[in-house]
Amino acid sequence: MKIIVAGQTRTADLGAAVRADAARRPVGPKPGTLPESISALRLRQMASEADYLAELLRLLRYRDNVDTLPFDIPRKTGLAGGAMARFRAVLWKLLRYQHDRISGRQNMINNLYSSALEFEHQQHQRELCELRDRLARLEARPPDRPEGPAP
Amino acid sequence: MTRPRLDQLLAGYADGDAISRQAVILRDLFRGWGHPADIFADPAHVSPTLRADCRPLADYAGASGDVALHHYGLASHAAEVFAACAARKILAYHNITPPEFFRGYDDAVVRQLADAQAQVAALARRVEAVWAVSNYDAADLAARGVTGVRAFPLIFTPAAMDLAPDPVLMSRLPAPLKTLLSVGRLAPNKRIEDVIQAFALYHYRINPFSRLIIVGSDRSCPRYCTMLKMLIGDLDVPNVCFEGFASPAGLVAYYKLADVFVSASAHEGYGLPLVEAMYHGVPVIARHAGGTSEALGQAGVLYEDLGAAELAELIHRVLDDQPLRADILASQQRRLRELAERPLEQELRALLANFLPAP
């Protein structure tokens, strides 16, 4: 770690304080974390656009459903903050049933889109393989007539 | 006595692009000195709003007495026209992003950048002068065997920033939230994912009444933007606003709204947005990489090797520790004074001394 403030190296004091604060801060359920095997950051490690697309389709499968259960209502401090948070919680309870019906339908559509993309990708891959095989066979075939100027 | 033409050749000409902005400033200066001067760019890469402000590359016919200045950051048709022309040549090097950053995101850009890396040294040997926009870039060229490179840093013009902020944006983003700002095209070398991860921790562990505004075109690497949006979903972090390309007045509005400017860019030729943020009194936190330290000078905050949680805490300190914030802002004011005192015309005349007749 190195921190420079206004041209002065402050790693020893500010850096140490920052590190201590980071270690001391209570860890909550958020921000969300996913296993490394399905993290979006895996897309940084792809070798080509083709690899990227294949990986993106795989990762999409883990994300095409919205989960509305862990819904956070931020709360400001003080009496007004508490009252506002309670008001929002009541509103959310009232709206939740309709909201879940809509999100359920949206999830279904997302799922169908993921499937359609996968099918399209598989079909393209299959067609590409067939074309490559065909090209390889054509290139391996002996020429129909000898090369060179016509007699 | 006829003054020689001083033309500039660009791969593209676009609003908000640092190279284009530099070219306009130089063209206006050259014209002010009495030289005929135009910008020539590939029409396929010119913003529709700027078509009348430049000329097509095909029209360029530099004669032996003229001077051609090519801004180079990518292998392009402009470089071919430049290499083939009869004019006296100056290469202005704007850094080539290492192709590894784009691997997996854009195969064509990887090839273009690799070609540019392979060509730049050969091109530099065929010109009379080579300028680089930072000492970092000059060192990069020296490592490729190019000698005699002279640094000519990107020009910051406060006039471009002295605009009224876009009122629509100011009214659209009025909430009293702590605002983190990132400005720059969305490309993998900018490491915007690091800013997002730090913001997620800041938002959930330190201050939920906060937002991250990301300003910059998403056209240069759409697959990278897709990764960023997926990451935001994974982190389940709200208040991350992708604002896309900003007009000059829009950019001013974002700087006015910002409480801190954060750049995690891992490769930067110079970093003009850092200077713009300083101009608007926004404290700057930037990764110490490439030319960022030259843009900041002895100002702002530079960091190396910070994890996301540590960067979140550093952001918190800069936002809430008033003496620290005051120190940073004072250092930025000093840096702006240095930049304002830069003898630009004198610098440029010295660089062009061998190309222009004595006044």
**Of the candidates A17, A52, A74, which has its C-beta nearest B105's C-beta?**
A52
CB atoms A7 and B307 under 8 Å: no
Coil vs helix vs strand at B39 = strand
Query: Of the given ranges (A65-69, B123-127, B224-228, B326-330), which has the lowest mean pLDDT?
Result: A65-69
Taking CB atoms and an 8 Å cutoff, what residues of chain B touch A47? 103-104
Summarize the confidence of residues B229-258 as an average pLDDT.
94
Instruction: Report DSSP letters for B87-110, one per residue.
Output: SEEEEEE-----GGGGTTT-HHHH
**Of the candidates A6, A56, A74, which has its C-beta nearest B328's C-beta?**
A6
φ, ψ (nearest 5 deg) of residue B249: -70, -35
Q: What is the pLDDT of residues B87-123, one digit of tens each?
A: 999 999 999 999 999 999 999 999 999 999 999 999 9
Measured CA to CA in angstroms, residue A125 lies from A118, A122, B49 at distances of 10, 5, 41
* pTM attached to this predicted model: 0.88
Residue A27: its pLDDT value, please? 85
Measured CA to CA in angstroms, residue B212 lies from B206, B232, B318 at distances of 14, 11, 15
Instruction: Tell me what percent of the residues of chain A surpass a pLDDT of 90.
Output: 61
How sure is the predictor about B74, in pLDDT bands with cuts at 50, 70 and 90? confident
Cβ neighbors of B246 (< 8 A, separation 6 or more) are B16, B183, B215, B216, B253, B254
Residue A96: its pLDDT value, please? 86
HSE of B275, CA atoms in CB hemisphere, 13 A: 24
Summarize the confidence of residues B26-34 as an average pLDDT.
94
Residue B221: its pLDDT value, please? 93
Q: What is the pLDDT of residues B180-238, one digit of tens each?
A: 999 999 999 999 999 999 999 999 999 999 999 999 988 889 999 999 999 999 998 99
First CA to last CA distance, chain B: 11
First CA to last CA distance, chain A: 78
Taking CB atoms and an 8 Å cutoff, what residues of chain A touch B313? 18-19, 21-22, 25
Q: Is A138 exposed, middle or buried (0-12, 13-18, 19+ CB in 10 A)?
A: exposed
Domain map (residue ranges) of chain A: 38-140
Measured CA to CA in angstroms, residue B98 lies from B109, B112, B175, B328 at distances of 10, 11, 39, 31
Alpha helix positions (H), chain B: 18-32, 77-84, 107-125, 135-143, 167-172, 192-201, 222-235, 248-257, 272-279, 292-296, 308-320, 322-340, 344-351
Strands A8-9 and A2-5: antiparallel
Query: Of the given ranges (A135-144, B61-70, B186-195, B260-269), which has the lowest mean pLDDT?
Result: A135-144
Continuous segment of H or E residues that includes residue B206: none
Bridge partner residues of B179 (DSSP): B211
SS (H, E, C) chain A: CEEEECCEECHHHHHHHHHHHHHHCCCCCCCCCCCHHHCHHHHHHCCCHHHHHHHHHHHHHCCCCCCCCCCCCCCCCHHHHHHHHHHHHHHHHHHHHHHHHHHHHHHHHHHHHHHHHHHHHHHHHHHHHHHHHHHHHHHHCCCCCCCCCCC
Give the closest residue to B108 by CA, choosing from A41, A42, A48.
A48
CB atoms B226 and A34 under 8 Å: no
**What's at B198, amino acid-wise?**
A
pLDDT at residue A151 above 60?
A: no
Q: What is the pLDDT of residues B146-162, one digit of tens each?
A: 999 999 988 888 888 89
Query: Of the given ranges (A70-74, B19-23, B134-138), which has the lowest mean pLDDT?
Result: A70-74
Least Cα separation, residue B314 to chain A (angstroms)? 6
pLDDT at residue A144 above 80?
A: no
- Measured CA to CA, the distance from residue B349 to residue B356 in angstroms comes to 8
Taking CB atoms and an 8 Å cutoff, what residues of chain A touch B236? 30-32, 70
Cβ neighbors of B231 (< 8 A, separation 6 or more) are A39, A40, A41, B193, B196, B197
The size of chain A, in residues, is: 151
A28 touches chain B (CB under 8 A): yes
Residue B218: its pLDDT value, please? 86
Nearest CA in chain A to B234: A32
Residue identified by tokens 């284009």 is: B20
Residue A52: its pLDDT value, please? 96
pLDDT at residue A104 above 90?
A: no
Q: Which of residues 31-50 of A touch B (CB under 8 A)?
A: 31-34, 39-41, 43-49
Q: How far is CA B245 from the centre of its chain?
A: 14
Residue B1: its pLDDT value, please? 62
Summarize the confidence of residues A124-130 as an average pLDDT.
93
Measured CA to CA in angstroms, residue B304 lies from A15, B146, B269, B312 at distances of 11, 29, 17, 14
The CB-based long-range contact list for A136-139 (8 Å cut-off, 24+ gap) reads none
Q: What is the pLDDT of residues B258-304, one digit of tens each?
A: 999 999 999 998 899 999 999 999 999 999 999 999 999 999 999 99
CB atoms B299 and A7 under 8 Å: yes
φ, ψ (nearest 5 deg) of residue B4: -70, 150
Compute how many other C-beta atoms are within 10 angstroms of the C-beta atom of residue B69. 27
Cβ neighbors of B325 (< 8 A, separation 6 or more) are B283, B318, B319
pLDDT at residue B356 above 80?
A: yes
Which tokens sit at B258?
Answer: 């910002």
Residue A145: its pLDDT value, please? 65
Give the closest residue to B178 by CA, choosing from B255, B259, B242.
B259
CA quadruple B182, B188, B190, B191: dihedral positive or negative?
A: positive
Least Cα separation, residue A18 to chain B (angstroms)? 6
Tell me the pLDDT of chain B averaged across its residues.
93
Residue pair A63/A111 in contact by the 8 Å Cβ criterion: no
Residue A33: its pLDDT value, please? 81
Query: Of the given ranges (A4-8, A60-64, B129-133, B320-324), which has the lowest mean pLDDT?
Result: A60-64
Query: Of the given ranges (A54-58, B14-18, B233-237), which has the lowest mean pLDDT?
Result: B14-18
Give CA angle at B296 (B294, B301), nearest 5°: 125
Taking CB atoms and an 8 Å cutoff, what residues of chain A touch B331? 5-7
B128 touches chain A (CB under 8 A): no
**What's at B196, amino acid-wise?**
I
Q: Is B136 exposed, middle or buried (0-12, 13-18, 19+ CB in 10 A)?
A: buried
